Each structure stands twice: as C-alpha cells, then as structure tokens.
Chains A and B, each alone.
Chain A
Amino acid sequence: DVKVTQSSRYLVKRTGEKVFLECVQDMDHENMFWYRQDPGLGLRLIYFSYDVKMKEKGDIPEGYSVSREKKERFSLILESASTNQTSMYLCASRQGSGGYTFGSGTRLTVV
C-alpha cells in the first residue's frame, strides 16, 4: 500500500515562528498536495506539485510556501505563523488521474 507520512501528528508553535510541515510518500507518485481542513470549511487546497521543483498555487496560498527538492518529499512552510493558521494540515499524493492517498494529518496550533 502507498504510504504518505507526515512528520508530526500534533504541533504547537508561537506566533511569528517559521514552521515546516514535512510529507513523504513511498510510491514514486508524481503529484503531491497540501490541504488544510477546518470545521465548516472543509478541505481547502493550499499548494500542489506535479513534479520535482514544480509548484502551483491552490485556493489559499497566502502565508504559505512549499518546497519539493525530491520526488518523495513535499514540504509546507509557514513563513510567519499566525493564529488563523491553526488547523489540521493534510498532505496527499497521487499518480496521474488516480485517487489521492492522504497522510494522517498534522494538527497545528499557533499560540
């Protein structure tokens, strides 16, 4: 089975900190995605990547950046964390037009 591993399940950071959320997949998938999930708002796409060193903005990229230096790893960076970035962050990978495989999520709290 494809595995998508997110480095932390729970994270607490202070306002203004730079935060790195790491995601690694083990099935050589080309496409990787970062979503945040909030009650009442559902899943919202932050950034995605079709290949190494490629990135595309999703629906809510403001305050975030990403890095994909290797095919298996897709990092989400919060340049200066703010309280409105408290959320569940979900990484997913996918090959072609297949379904997503999600990681277990990182619940980030910014205080």
Chain B
Amino acid sequence: QKEVEQDPGPLSVPEGAIVSLNCTYSNSAFQYFMWYRQYSRKGPELLMYTYSSGNKEDGRFTAQVDKSSKYISLFIRDSQPSDSATYLCAVFHSGNTPLVFGKGTRLSVIA
C-alpha cells in the first residue's frame, strides 16, 4: 500500500463550482499535512499547512484533516480558471523528516 494515495483525475469543473480534492494515507504517525499547487512547467508552491486534525481556512481554500480515518481534503470555493493546476497533498511525521507526496490531482476549471 502506498503511503499516500491521491486520485490523479483529471477533474474538470465549471467556474464557480466547489471543488473537493482528497488524499488518504496509511501511517498514523503522520502529523503534518500540506497542500501544494503546481502550475504547468513550474515548481509546486505551498498552499495550505495544517497540524493534526481539524480545519484551516484561507480565503477560498479550506484544508481538512481527519486523523481517525487518515483522510485529508482540500476544498476550493467559487473556483476560478486560474485555479487550474495540479494539486499535491503531502504529509510528514515530525521535525525535518522529508515530505511524502501524493501523485497529484489535475484540476481544470472551465470558464
């Protein structure tokens, strides 16, 4: 079983839709959870960073972590064409251990 599983998509939605992106992970020792956005031919950029279970909101983006079910989500409200990108989830244990990434979900928001 892969450490982090993520549906690769592609996911295509109309502008203004609510988008839900999800990952599952296998190791309950993971405590830190992140979402990265990667535009075509660019490096990933950090979008959201959460520690332990709960929700975190930043503008149109909400990150949700459910450690009991080992499930992490990113919600995008009022999606825009500029949100079209690949979204990667990432997890790690503690300290400065390397991140473990999902394979990414490609999202297209159609105007």
Contacts and interface: CB of A to CB of B under 8 A. Distances in A.
Contacts of B99: 100
B43 A45 contact: no
Nearest to A30: B96
Contact of A99 (B8, B49, B101): B49
A105 B101 contact: no
Interface of B: 8, 32, 34, 36, 41-46, 49, 88, 90, 92, 94-96, 98-99, 101-104
Contacts, number: 51
Contacts of B43: 4, 90, 92, 102-105
Contacts of A42: 88, 101-104
14 contacts: A4-B43, A40-B103, A42-B103, A43-B44, A43-B88, A45-B98, A58-B98, A90-B43, A94-B96, A96-B96, A97-B92, A97-B94, A102-B36, A105-B43
- The residue in B8, B46, B96 that gathers the most chain A C-beta atoms within 10 A of its C-beta is B96
B22 to A, nearest CB: 15
Interface of A: 4, 30-31, 33, 40-43, 45, 48, 50, 58, 90, 92, 94, 96-105, 107
A31 B98 CA distance: 9
Contacts of B94: 97
Contacts of A43: 44, 88, 101
- The residue in B49, B90, B99 that gathers the most chain A C-beta atoms within 10 A of its C-beta is B99
B41 A105 contact: yes
A90 B49 CA distance: 20
- The residue in B36, B42, B44, B104 that gathers the most chain A C-beta atoms within 10 A of its C-beta is B44
B46 A99 contact: yes
- The residue in A42, A90, A94 that gathers the most chain B C-beta atoms within 10 A of its C-beta is A42
